[in-house]
């Protein structure tokens, strides 16, 4: 993943903000996945929901960390 960074450090606080269209697409996909998980699994299978939510969050933050700018 080279070239223009997908995320940049936030001005205030901790974390990253999308800096390119790839970062925005990844963020939108993450939000969509969270909504899909909440609609389909939160009530009937809460342990699967929390496991998949934690996995999606870790993957999102890992990609944001690896594609951040200086």
Beta strands in 1-70 (DSSP E): 7-9, 16-18
Residues 46-69 pLDDT 10s: 888 899 999 999 999 999 999 987
Tell me the pLDDT tens digit for each residue of 3-25.
Answer: 889 999 888 888 889 999 999 99
Give the pLDDT score at 31: 97
What the block records as the tokens of 68 is 């951040």
Phi, psi of 6 (to 5 degrees): -80, -30
Long-range contacts (CB closer than 8 Å, 24 or more residues apart) made by 18-22:
19/69, 22/67
Band (2; pLDDT cuts 50, 70, 90): low
């Amino acid at each position: 993943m080279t070239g223009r960074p997908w995320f940049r450090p936030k001005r205030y606080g901790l974390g990253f903000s999308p800096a390119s269209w790839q970062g925005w697409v990844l963020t939108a996909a993450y939000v969509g996945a969270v909504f899909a998980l909440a609609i389909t699994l939160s009530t009937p299978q809460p342990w699967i929901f929390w496991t998949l939510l934690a996995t999606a969050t870790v993957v999102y933050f890992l990609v944001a960390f690896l594609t951040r700018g200086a």
